[in-house]
């Protein structure tokens, strides 16, 4: 069974290869948005410091220097397996222990205002990746949720805390499962958080995650909110990620 996949009694057949003399950074920011990536490279005059490779091609890793700190960032892809795999590679290519992950998520509660940051406190493990990094359980705690919330409060950013539902199948978020997760206290649905937190726990890394409201599932019909302000490609969310990087370093 998939829930029996966690094995901490034998070595992995393949391990990330740690790069010698890897560039040191204070934190690494991970976005899903190609538009935010383009904005950040241009606005902050970011230069490449590393590359992450897989069969689908090259993922450049950029460097931003500000306020005496060094922050890396790169664009990842949707889904726990690739997000976790690229972060494993980033941790091998960089000397970095702090990773900031942000992106859009489905909103499970109509009372949560559009544009409010959602800070996950625990993730429901409705995916497969996390079971290779942590013993089976329904939820995994998001260890640094309080630090993320403290940052939002300190910067006057509207936010809400709550559980998130990490799924593997965008088109199989059924009404019954939605009602179960909402009744259990989940306020968002996304596809990476549980897997990334499990990997970070396993590797001794610090994850700082936040989501922004994209689509609204808590409606008679699915409501995909496309407004640019507060949407997945809103460059203001990268500014929030930078503020969080400043806060935790």
Answer yes or no: pTM beyond 0.75: yes
Determine, yes or no, domain membership for 13. no
* Low-confidence stretches of the chain (pLDDT beneath 70): 1-2, 113-115, 214-231
Q: Is 228 exposed, middle or buried (0-12, 13-18, 19+ CB in 10 A)?
A: exposed
CB 172 within 8 A of CB 108: no
The pLDDT assigned to 223 comes to 53
CB 75 within 8 A of CB 59: yes
Residue 177: burial class (beta carbons within 10 Å; 0-12, 13-18, 19+): middle
The domain of 79 spans 20-248
Does a structural domain hold residue 1?
no
Does residue 98 sit within a domain?
Answer: yes
Give me the pLDDT at residue 227, please: 46
**Does residue 11 sit within a domain?**
no
Asked, for residue 213, whether it belongs to a domain, the answer is yes
- For 204-215, the pLDDT digits (tens) are 999 999 998 765
User: Residues with Cβ < 8 Å from 16, sequence gap 6 or more?
Assistant: 88, 89, 91, 92
CB-based contacts of 155, cutoff 8 Å, min separation 6: 240, 243, 247
In a domain, residue 74? The reply is yes
CA distances from 125 to 13, 132, 155, 207 (A): 25, 12, 31, 16
What's the number of domains the chain is made of? 1
Beta-sheet strands, E only, within the chain? 27-31, 47-54, 57-66, 69-75, 98-107, 117-126, 139-141, 159-167, 186-190, 206-216, 223-224
Residue 113, domain CATH: 3.40.50.1580
In a domain, 10, yes or no: no
Q: What's the confidence (pLDDT) of residue 232?
A: 77
């Amino acid at each position: 069974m998939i829930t029996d996949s966690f094995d901490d009694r034998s070595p992995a057949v393949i391990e990330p290869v740690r790069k010698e003399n890897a560039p040191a950074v204070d934190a690494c920011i991970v976005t899903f948005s190609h538009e935010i990536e383009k904005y950040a490279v241009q606005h902050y005059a970011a230069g490449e410091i590393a590359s992450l490779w897989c069969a689908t091609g090259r993922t450049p890793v950029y460097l931003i220097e500000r306020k005496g700190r060094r922050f890396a960032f790169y664009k990842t892809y949707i889904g726990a397996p690739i997000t976790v795999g690229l972060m494993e590679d980033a941790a091998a290519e960089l000397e970095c222990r702090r990773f900031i992950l942000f992106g859009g998520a489905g909103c499970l509660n109509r009372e949560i205002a559009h544009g409010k940051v959602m800070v996950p406190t625990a993730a429901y493990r409705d995916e497969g990746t996390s079971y290779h990094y942590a013993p089976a359980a329904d939820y995994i705690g998001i260890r640094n949720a309080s630090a993320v919330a403290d940052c939002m409060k300190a910067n006057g950013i509207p936010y809400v805390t709550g559980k998130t539902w990490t799924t593997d199948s965008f088109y199989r978020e059924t009404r019954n499962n939605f009602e179960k997760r909402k009744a259990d206290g989940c306020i968002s649905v996304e596809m990476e958080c549980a897997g990334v937190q499990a990997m970070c726990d396993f590797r001794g890394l610090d994850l700082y995650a936040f989501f922004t409201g994209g689509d609204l599932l808590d409606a008679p019909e699915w409501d995909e909110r496309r407004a640019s302000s507060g949407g997945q490609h809103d460059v203001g969310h990268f500014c929030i990620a930078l503020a969080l990087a400043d806060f935790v370093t």
